[in-house]
Chain A
Amino acid sequence: MWKWLHPYAKAEKSYALSGKLMPWFLAVALPTFVVGIIWGLAFAPADYQQGDSFRIIYIHVPAAMMAMGAYSTMAIAAFIGLVWQIRLAEMTVAATAPIGAVYTFIALFTGAAWGKPMWGAWWVWDARLTSELILLFVYLGIIALYNAFSDKVLAGRAASILTLVGVINLPIIHFSVVWWNTLHQGATITKFDQPSMATDMLVPLLIMIVSFAAFLGFMVLYRFRNEILQRESHRPWVIALVQQSSSSVNKRG
């Protein structure tokens, strides 16, 4: 029943499938971004306590959520790569890490720019902030470890193991606002209750979350294809691809 999946263990097939999927992710990411950002910045009502500073939420929360989403993806891929020795899964880990790192950086930076006017400090050693900072370091560690080996099979394995070790940080980040007395506020959307947010504010936030998720998917596919091309650069199909693109450039020039 699941045999149709088999051909996709072949890099060439996965490369083609990713290429086909990429425009769809972009087709979701771009319109939702435009709508979400205009709605969030100009049309959502100002918060009764925080005024217009709360508008930072429309990048802060999606970035933070998808930073963790990216990590979960990597963890699943790392597990698959290690257990079933599928090197494409390990390439996914390597492809996703930089995007996760950028999202984590965005979450931290926008949080600081929001914290300064609201808390009076750019940074506090609060449990949520500290665990998120550790997530950034874990991401950077994975990227550095992957780049430290010239043998990419070994690199993929090492990065996957580190990814699985770092999973422990995910529940800590999520529950940090429950387990400790934090300056950072508690969950607004991801809880077993109605979201504690007005609908006019919530809808653009959900749209931005969709946008960040779709963009993450797009970038993962793009980097995944880069990863495949680099590792398979001696294979005939990559050589054919390069020759095709160079001949089309020559014709144009």
Chain B
Amino acid sequence: MAFASWSDFIAMGGYSFYVWLAYGVSLLSVLLLVISTVTKRKKIFKHVEQRLLREQRIKAAENREGTL
């Protein structure tokens, strides 16, 4: 262990701002990448699903009788 106490660890030998800034921004950017990637997958699924439903509705409308 390179630090004597928890507060020592947070202080990072006086470089706390730079160290935690670097780690924080890195974590945040990776997190954003993960979120955008996962939502993309969900979006594609939703898109295809909506298209299938629309196709179903069109087909149902074609078979309807007594309309123009």
Contacts and interface: CB of A to CB of B under 8 A. Distances in A.
Interface of A: 41-46, 51-53, 55-56, 59-60, 63, 98-99, 102, 105-106, 109-110, 113-114, 116-117, 215, 219, 222-223, 225-226, 229-230, 233, 238-239, 242-243, 245-246
Given A51-B13, A222-B37, A233-B48, A109 B2 contact: no
B67 interface: no
A117 B15 contact: yes
B54 interface: no
For chain B, the bracket of interface size reads 20 to 34
B25 interface: yes
B49 to A, nearest CB: 5
A233 B47 contact: yes
Query: Interface of chain A, helix or strand or loop or mixed?
Result: helix
16 contacts: A44-B2, A51-B15, A53-B13, A56-B18, A63-B26, A102-B29, A102-B30, A109-B29, A113-B25, A116-B18, A117-B15, A222-B37, A223-B40, A225-B41, A226-B44, A233-B47
B29 A106 contact: yes
A82 to B, nearest CB: 25
Interface in B27-49: 29-30, 32-34, 36-38, 40-41, 44-45, 47-49
B49 A110 contact: no
B55 to A, nearest CB: 10
Contact of B48 (A44, A60, A110, A242): A242
A152 B65 CA distance: 41
Contact of B15 (A52, A106, A233, A242): A52
B18 A53 contact: yes
